[in-house]
Copies of this chain bind each other. A is one copy, B any other.
Amino acid sequence: MQELREAIARYGQGIGQNIVKVDMFLNHRIETGLLFRMGEELARRFQDAKPDLILTVEASGIALALATARAMNDLPVVFAKKGATVVQSPDVAEAKVYSFTHKRENVIRVDKKFLPQGSRVLIIDDFLADGQACQGMMALCAQTDCPIVGIGIGIEKGFMQGGKNLRAMGINLTSLAVVTGIENGKILLADD
């Protein structure tokens, strides 16, 4: 997606070998117009997948999931939670996810009643790196017998294994921008 690639080139910072910092417009400060155009583009790419709901994981996935849902006739959004709350339902699906950014293992959880059996699930996340978050959400869907009709990503780190692994599984995965590497702080991007 050309506009996203331009925003990454203009505002993104590459740090070290593999950190892509886009907190200026995507995951700390949100450039609202761009975000909704990203959601519209994902909606366009998945219009034939006919999802019943969108699944993401808190916190930074929520914005893009919601923008996509808005562009798909206000599909419901379910966001998996990290860590238990006081009022948690006992009937939850759980999966372990190692967070690359935070360097720790999280458990993500979703109340099973929000993934009704047989629901066609579109997974949306802002980033795809080693694919742990997506694999965790897929594990949640497996526990509730929900087919995954696709995975839509804002920015994919194409130099990591997550995307390759998911595509090798036959998942219908699309990313709005693919980072191919970082050189001297510059973020290198694949062509659209």
Contact = CB atoms under 8 A, between A and B. Distances in A.
Contacts of A114: 23-24, 28-29
Given A59-B59, A85-B101, A101-B85, A36 B70 contact: yes
A35 B69 CA distance: 11
A67 B63 CA distance: 10
Contact of A74 (B23, B33, B101): B33
Chain A's interface size range is 35 or more
A79 B32 contact: no
Main secondary structure on A side of the interface with B: mixed
Given A66-B35, A66-B66, A103 B74 contact: no
Contact of A63 (B31, B35, B66, B111): B66
Contacts of A28: 78-79, 81, 110-111, 114
B75 A32 contact: yes
Given A23-B111, A59-B59, A59-B62, A29 B83 contact: no
Contacts of A23: 111, 114
A66 B30 CA distance: 9
Interface of A: 15, 19, 21, 23-24, 28-33, 35-36, 58-60, 62-63, 66-67, 69-70, 74-79, 81, 83, 85-87, 101-103, 110-111, 114
Given A28-B114, A29-B111, 9 more contacts: A24-B114, A28-B79, A30-B78, A36-B70, A36-B74, A63-B63, A66-B67, A86-B101, A87-B101
